[in-house]
A and B are shown apart, each in its own frame.
Chain A
Amino acid sequence: MDLRESLKMAVKTLTASKLRSSLTMLGIIIGNASVISMVGLGDGGRRYINEQLQSLGPNILFIVPGSRETRELGALEVPRNLVLADADAIAEQVPSVVAVAAENTTPGLITFLNRNANVSVIGTNPAFVTVRSFTLDQGRFISDLDMQRTSAVAVLGNSLAERLFDGQVPLGQSLRINDVAFEVVGVLAVQGSNLGVNYDDAAIIPITTQASRIVGRTSTFGTEVSFITATARDSESMQTAEFQITNLLRLRHGIVDPNEDDFFIQNQDTLLAIADTITGALTLMLAAIASISLVVGGIGIMNIMLVSVRERTQEIGLRKAIGASRQDILIQFLIEAIILSAAGGAIGTLVGVSGLSLLSLLTPFEAAAPVSAIVFTVGVSGSIGLFFGVIPARQAAKLDPIVALRSI
């Protein structure tokens, strides 16, 4: 009995009981759809983060407080030992850097008339817009004069301005941040969220004003900052800039042993690498969880096939009586299991892929299943049919025709 005949026979048998076949496939369909969508989601997440990192602007260096230890232990509270003077020193003394922005983010309550909003209050300096490649929608950004005078001026994120002023012109309006009066001098263009900070929903004020009027001086070394961003002259100067900044900060912080650095510097590439590691692990974990449902689907096929062997005992007996060998029966049931799981796999893939397409159609999240994942899951589901089909098929092949024919 050749393979083509076996295939035709299996298709005939499976299409004869469509409901049962579809129900049997359901487990594999769900398993495959979930694997595909999980991998697709993970992949989309990775791309989303990459895009975010790339949108930060080119040639950016992040200078973040914290020792090697606190970084490796993943501590939530890091020593706040980077100060505004460090940022100024980098701007003045590091020749390969063209712009330096210091940022200090604190939560704050904004009040305008009877409207309140809990937002991030970001204290920064005029170079911020240059480093981050941000643009303004209205008005102006913080100026050097504002910094010197610790003026109470604020630049609002786009959606925050919308929310507070509701169609009125925000410029020149007076609002209160933590009960200190500020004048709105500018509104940012829409930026989107960036590294977990939603600049559209934040208020930006001079960092000097923030230090003197809102948070007070909390560091013994001057005005503390959350982190410093610096733009290198060009991509070739990145390494030089990193080296020079490191040296300068060690000098300023009195560090001799590099192991005792109380800051560390990251660039887009290292951030990308970290993000890749995290999202890669996440994708793998999601895929592993989804794979469990694929295996459960395979067990489902085995169950139904075992029931099917029992129910079709007479058929098996008859086939053997009229000349089917053990191998013929074995192959017949194996092929049925493989067809079920491969077809289920294909349908599941289709479901998963269309689900992902729907998601990317409805949300800005670009989720698509990589071709490798599709090939992998369809292959795996086929092998699952082979694997879980063996036990029922062997049972069928083992049946004694006399006993099988007599059973009812």
Chain B
Amino acid sequence: MIKSLLSWSALSLYTAASIAALYYLLTKNERASRLMLTFVGCGLVLQFMSFGIHLAAFWAYPENRWFLPINNFFGALSYMGFALAAAFFTIEVRRRLGILGAFVLPMAALSLGLAVILADPELAPLAPKLRSYWLNIHPMVLMTSYAAFTNAFGVALALLIQERQIKSRKPTELCYRLPSLDELDALNGRLISITLPILVLGLVMGSVWAYQSTGRAWSWDAKETMSLITAGFYAEFLWLRYVSGKRGRIPVYVSMAGFACMLLTFFGAELCSGRHDFLGGK
């Protein structure tokens, strides 16, 4: 009861923060930006508390003790929302790019919203095949990389808008409010170049876990294949951007294709995945 109250409050705060961020982007009203930060901060605290309660209930099953409740959509999505908002807080705000909140915070709200409204926060003993210390590492590492990629996607959106503004030769007010093209480009590039190794690390850990439990490191199920394609797109982005020195929209489009694949990996592959079906709550 308290837990869902806390989750709902956190969701409302993230939504309010997204609205404040949008208002800040459109009007540059400083009070809206302060409101946005307050909402995000409070939302993070509430979500953390709600996580604590969820964890206590999850650990009430002795066989679940010390495992993180990230075994289903509810756990994964709420962690995504939390990590997204936290990453926004630590990366963009610290670089004085809080104005990007309008692009990042709605995704945090959406992620937590899906968890709270649609996903089933079922509490049950973990399936025996999941009872491994890898459960605390492999999905967490991947979810963290997803949250960082989602942040990068928000930055890439702003980058596309800014690039379009400048190319159009008719810049609007928005153009002067957004961070400069070079700043956005550097942030997008840096986020992806830091996050791709994390994604790859998560995949390697997954295959080690699989090898230990089933003897096969890689089985080409839908989720695994999709995640490999995701990594491929991001690697292609880094290649275009840093090795062949391409600028403008094309590398950004490639990084966005990577993001689309990431979403497919996360949501779509559930439907037809053999080894990773447990996230669906089965």
A binds B: no
